[in-house]
Copies of this chain bind each other. A is one copy, B any other.
Amino acid sequence: MNNQLDNLRDELDDVNIKLLELINERGRLVKELGDIKKAQGMKAYDPERERDMLNHIIDQHEGPFEYATIEHIFKQIFKAAKELQEEDYHKTLLV
């Protein structure tokens, strides 16, 4: 029984690290997207595109979490990436 607990905990640790890697990969993609958009004179943040992404995620969702929970977690992830773009933008202004 306790072996089973240990195995599940190891699996959980692996999933945590994979999540970390994906969240950071997402951050790098959003930064890259923001840089290209700024170079084209476009605003980096696009609320409509964010809504579309969220709808696409919700469409694919099958549980066990509630839709509202998934939406909440992704909004935190999106918000973090937005801050990363803004931070970058402010740094540009200061140069």
Q: A10 → chain B, closest Cβ, in Å?
A: 10
* Residues from chain B with Cβ under 8 Å of A19 in the complex: 19, 22-23, 26, 74, 77
Q: Are A63 and B24 in contact (CB under 8 A)?
A: yes
* Residues from chain B with Cβ under 8 Å of A83 in the complex: 69
Q: Which of B17, B33, B60 contacts A20 (CB 8 A)?
A: B60
Q: How many copies does the complex hold?
A: 2
Q: Among A1, A16, A61, which residue has the most Cβ atoms of chain B within 10 A?
A: A16
* Residues from chain B with Cβ under 8 Å of A33 in the complex: 5, 8-9, 12
Contact with B along A49-83 (1 / 0, CB 8 A): 10001001100111111000110111011001001
* Residues from chain B with Cβ under 8 Å of A64 in the complex: 24, 27-28, 31, 84
Assembly CA distance A27 to B1 (angstroms): 20
